[in-house]
Every structure is written in C-alpha cells, then in structure tokens.
Amino acid sequence: MSNETTASDGERKASVIVVGGGPAGLSAALFTAKNGLETTVFDTDETWMHKAHLFNYLGVGSVGGSEFMATARQQVDDFGVDRRQGEPVTTIEIVDGGFAVETADGIDESDYVVLATGADRKLAEDLGCEFTSTDVVDVGVNMETSVDGVYATGAMIRPEEWQAAIAVGDGAAAALNILSTVRGARFHDFDVPDDAGRVFGEVLAE
C-alpha cells in the first residue's frame, strides 16, 4: 500500500506544477496527485502520441496513441489533477519558496516544477538549468535538474530515445523524488489488490 503524503488539518499541501501533458507529464502528475500533493498540469496537446500506435508498451498489446492519452487523462482526472488543457506556459520564475508559472490566464505558484515539454527545452534554458554537451537538459537519475525543485523528463533529457515507456518512467522517477523530499524519507508507491477498494471504492460499488 502506498505510504500516502497528506496534509494535516490547517497544513498547506505541497504543490507541483507539471508543464506538458504527454506520457512523462501525466505520469508525474498521477504519482503526485495520487499521494496527496496539489497537482496542476498545463498542456498544449502537442504530444507525438497522437501520431503513434503502441505495440511496444509492456502490458499493452495494441493501442492507438490518442486512445492511450484519453485513458491517461481520465486516470489523472480521477485523482484530482487540475488539468489545464490548451493553456501554454509562457514563463517560469523562481520566487521565495518556489516558482511562479505564468500563462495568458494568470500566474500560479508551486513548490516544485516538472518540465515535460518534449524536445522544446526553452523553459529549462530560461530557468538556468544546466545542459549537457549534447544540448539536452542535464539531470540525475531522479530527474532533478541543476535548479533545486525543477525536474526535466522525456525528450528534454534524451537526444534520441523518445519512447512512451521511457517517458512514463521519467515522470514517475521525478514524482517519487518530490514525494521523498516532501516526506523527508524515501517514498515508495506500492499498492496491493486490497487497495483497489480504498482507492476506487465508489466506482467498484456501482
């Protein structure tokens, strides 16, 4: 069972803004929202998944990319993610205690930022994230960049290895590191069959 991260009465939840709603971004959002962090996703729906058909995703025999995305979006919506479809992020600034993320509709603040904008690395560059000699964002195994609290995933950190399965893993790694930081201890998101009733009780009862 997940060792959930929840805020006690009167305590503000840690917040995460994910920029990009492809497999990496939604994977990160799923883990953080499922485990009690306030999570917002800004997405322009420009993912290459709409041009894909998956035969190489373990556990999935065959699924169209757009169908996969529809399922993923419903999954994060069910866990309470605030998903801002069609709302591109223009700038991200470092502010006291976190980040200010600006769109045409206003400014949202968060404690952490996960960048999942594919091969578009401009936001990472503007934030001052370090790049590698191959011109991708430099991250550790936990997906954290050189800027504390900023994570990069998927094609942002890989010159060529653009696979849905890899991107999903990147998003999960970023989220788990954020959850570990928030808790102050290594976080594990491991569910067992009995958790289905707890998580989806109302749905299963129908």
Closest to 103 measured CA to CA, from 26, 174, 44, 46: 44
- Which one-letter amino acid corresponds to residue 206? E
In contact, 18 and 39? CB cutoff 8 Å:
yes
- pLDDT at residue 201, as a whole number: 67
- pLDDT at residue 162, as a whole number: 84
- pLDDT at residue 202, as a whole number: 55
Which residues, at least 6 apart from 184, have a Cβ–Cβ distance to it below 8 Å?
none
- pLDDT at residue 77, as a whole number: 97
Set out the domains of the chain in order of their start, with CATH numbers.
Answer: 15-205 (3.50.50.60)
Q: For each of the chain's 206 residues, which pLDDT tens digit applies?
A: 455 544 444 456 899 999 999 999 999 999 999 999 999 999 999 888 888 999 999 899 999 989 999 999 999 999 999 999 999 999 999 999 899 999 999 999 999 999 999 999 999 999 999 999 999 999 999 999 999 999 999 999 998 888 999 999 999 999 999 999 999 999 999 989 888 877 776 554 55
Angle at 3 between CA 147 and CA 77, to 5 degrees: 70
- pLDDT at residue 3, as a whole number: 52
Which residues, at least 6 apart from 42, have a Cβ–Cβ distance to it below 8 Å?
17, 18, 19, 20, 21, 84, 87, 88, 89, 101, 103
